[in-house]
Structure 1
Amino acid sequence: MDTRDNPVLRAIRERRSIRRFTADPVSKAELTAILEAGQWAPSGLNNQPWRFLVVTRDDPRTEKLAGCTKYARIVRDAAACICVCLDKSALYSEMKDHQGAGACIQNMLLAVHALGLGAVWLGQIVNDQAASLSALGLSEADYELQAVLALGHPDQAGDSSRKPLDELMLETL
């Protein structure tokens, strides 16, 4: 079976983290498609504990959010940032809910790629939950920030490599 032409598997192989963006905006339709991809991620008990907040380049919260990460330039240059949070009142299993958030984020990254856009998963920004959530106007009692996806029209080609599969296998197939 030749899997090289499968569009989903090809998107998984070709998606890259993009950290430089043009000044072009991302449309509401594109943002909605990306958010819907996240919406359809699997979650334990189908509880869907993720919540999204979109902060566009012209939003005053952008500068506050940029101040919460060493990747401030990326936040400022992105057409939009999608903040992915977990709603603490919707959680039922910490590990499963974090896994679901990861699946949600990956779905959105694949949607970004499929739309010809670029994005990067900013994880360092979650290290200071209080500052990041405050910058967004969200309560630390209610939400846990999982990641910020900075996205826009790519102004760079992505590059990546992977370890050989046999290095990752605990047993051979």
Structure 2
Amino acid sequence: MTDPHISDASRAVLDALHQRRSIRRFTGEPVTRDEIVAMLDAARWAPSGLNNQPWRFLVVQPGDPRQEALAGCTKYARIVRDAGVLVAVFLDREACYHPMKDHQGAGACIQNLLLAAHALGLGAVWLGEIVNQAEQVEQALGLPAGRYEFMALIAAGRPAQRGSSDRVPLEKLLLEAL
């Protein structure tokens, strides 16, 4: 039975949340400039404390020597090399005002970017391990030391695999029964 309070538009958003998966293999077919802009535009509409929008993006496309430099910063080098586009997400320390709120906002920003990639028919993965080499990443990208805090590298492209995932049952996550 369908809940009459959930509209078709709402159902489409909920379906996207349930269907998005991390994709780690790409076909090599290019990602268009319009698709990149659409992902970045969705990311910038994430909520942030005081609407300060402290996130910053650096886009690396195939053929850019920084792609290989980034591959050298992670054990997931294959994913970085094969991506149709890489988006490095940073917090601008000069735009931040509260560490926890700004980090939460960065997470929302990254989720928006991943959902936009899914909506566009692209596959994407949030590479987190690479943050352990944040200094090396800043150097690989030619960024000034200390100004930006590296949050994640998103690898996106045309999917060459189907994603899969499991979730813990909701009942196990609730501190109190509904």
TM-score by length of 1: 0.97
SS for the counterpart of 1:120 is strand
> What is residue 35 of structure 2 aligned with on the other side?
30
Letter in 1 for 2:37: T
Quick check: 1:90 aligned with 2:95?
Answer: yes
> What is residue 164 of structure 1 aligned with on the other side?
169
CA contact (8 A) 1:43 1:100 kept: yes
Match of 1:10 among 15, 22, 25: 15
Quick check: 1:127 aligned with 2:127?
Answer: no
> What is residue 151 of structure 1 aligned with on the other side?
156
Letter in 2 for 1:116: G
Range with greater deviation from structure 2 (4-13 or 143-152): 4-13
Letter in 2 for 1:115: L
Counterpart mapping for 1:65-76 below 5 A: 65-76=70-81
TM-score by length of 2: 0.95
> What is residue 142 of structure 2 aligned with on the other side?
137
Match of 2:82 among 67, 77, 85: 77
Tell me, which stretches of 5 or more residues in structure 1 are unaligned? none
Number of residue pairs matched by the alignment: 173
> What is residue 120 of structure 2 aligned with on the other side?
115
Identity rate, percent: 62
Structure 1 outlier segments of 4+, above 6 Å: none
Tell me, which stretches of 5 or more residues in structure 2 are unaligned? none
Q: Report the CA distance between 1:108 and its aligned residue.
A: 0.5
